[in-house]
């Protein structure tokens, strides 16, 4: 299991008090999952939202995770790996038409295709299962980034 989490301030929907929210994206087995939760210590209001990852990770949570942990990149072990195999996996995992899939492959080869560490690790797992050596790497992230 690979987990990325972030704590951030929010306002209680019940009383408007300031409180701390927690968001998580996790790679569990071969699937992405996410959750967001909070509990207001003033009025007792609580929220817990969860779901499968992929494209359904709330944009706000994804932005916060990227800001907190930095972007992870997908790196092919062989820069000349079979484009057919790579594109087949990309199309199944990322979706889109053939032109988008080709652009994604170009971004991977250029080192500009990025996402959260759980997202890139899942893609690397899927590529390795298809016979393509791939790893997820996270660039060092500092407060000056």
> Residue 82's pLDDT is what?
87
- Report pLDDT digits (tens) over 104-140: 999 999 999 999 999 999 999 999 999 999 999 987 5
Question: Could you tell me which of 69, 65, 32 has the C-alpha nearest to residue 51?
Answer: 32
Which strands form 114-115's sheet, in the order they lie side by side?
A: 114-115, 72-76, 134-138
> Residue 78's pLDDT is what?
85
| Residue 17 neighbours by CB distance under 10 Å | 13
- Report pLDDT digits (tens) over 71-104: 999 999 987 788 999 999 999 988 888 999 999 9
pTM value? 0.87
* Tokens of residue 69, six digits: 């942990």
With bands split at pLDDT 50, 70 and 90, how would you rate the model's confidence at 142?
very low
118-129: burial string, b at 16+ Cβ within 10 Å, e else: bbbbbbbbbbee
Cα separation, 61 vs 55, in Å, equals 12
List of E strands, 1-145: 2-11, 18-28, 31-39, 46-52, 72-76, 114-115, 134-138
Cα separation, 5 vs 28, in Å, equals 14
Reduce the DSSP state of residue 113 to 3 states and report it.
coil
């Amino acid at each position: 299991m690979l987990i990325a989490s972030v704590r951030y301030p929010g306002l209680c929907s019940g009383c408007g008090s300031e409180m701390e929210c927690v968001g998580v994206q996790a790679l569990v087995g071969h699937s992405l999952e996410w959750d967001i939760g909070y509990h207001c210590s003033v009025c007792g209001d609580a929220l817990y939202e969860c779901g499968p990852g992929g494209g359904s990770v709330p944009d706000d949570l994804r932005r916060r995770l990227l800001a907190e942990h930095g972007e992870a990149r997908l790196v092919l072990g062989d820069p000349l790996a079979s484009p057919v195999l790579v594109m087949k996996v990309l199309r199944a995992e990322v979706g889109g038409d053939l032109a988008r899939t080709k652009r994604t492959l170009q971004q991977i080869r250029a080192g500009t295709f990025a996402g959260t560490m759980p997202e890139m690790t899942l893609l690397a797992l899927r590529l390795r299962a298809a016979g393509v050596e791939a790893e997820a790497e996270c660039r060092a992230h500092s407060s000056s980034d």
